[in-house]
Amino acid sequence: MHLTQKERMLLEDQKKHEEMCIEKYGMAAAKASDPELKQLFATYQQQEQQHLQTIQQILNGQIPQMQQGSQGGQQNQQQASQGFSQASGQPNQQDAFLCQDLLSTEKYISGTYDTAVFEFTNPQIRQALNHIQKEEQQHGEGIFNYMNQHGMYQPQ
Q: Which of 129, 108, 109, 134 is nearest to 3 (CA)?
A: 129
Q: What is the pLDDT of residue 67?
A: 55
Q: Where are the beta strands (DSSP E) in 18-116?
A: none
Q: Mean pLDDT lowest for which of 26-35, 79-88, 128-137?
A: 79-88
Distances (CA, A) of 53 to 58, 132, 148, 152: 9, 11, 32, 33
Reported confidence tier of residue 90, pLDDT bands at 50, 70, 90 = low
Q: Is 61 helix (H, G, I), strand (E, B) or coil?
A: coil
Convert the pLDDT of each residue in 7-59 to its tens digit.
Answer: 999 999 999 999 999 999 999 999 999 999 999 999 999 999 999 999 999 99
Q: What is the pLDDT of residue 156?
A: 74
Average pLDDT over residues 54-72: 77
Dist CA 137 CA 154 (whole Å): 19
Contacts of 86 (CB under 8 A, 6+ apart): 149
- Does the structure show a pLDDT above 70 at 93? yes
Contacts of 142 (CB under 8 A, 6+ apart): 40, 44, 77, 80, 81
Domains within the chain, CATH numbers bracketed? 5-62+91-149 (1.20.1260.10)
Dist CA 9 CA 21 (whole Å): 19
As to burial, measured by CB atoms within 10 angstroms (0-12 exposed, 13-18 middle, 19+ buried), residue 68 is exposed
Q: Percent of the chain having pLDDT more than 90? A: 76
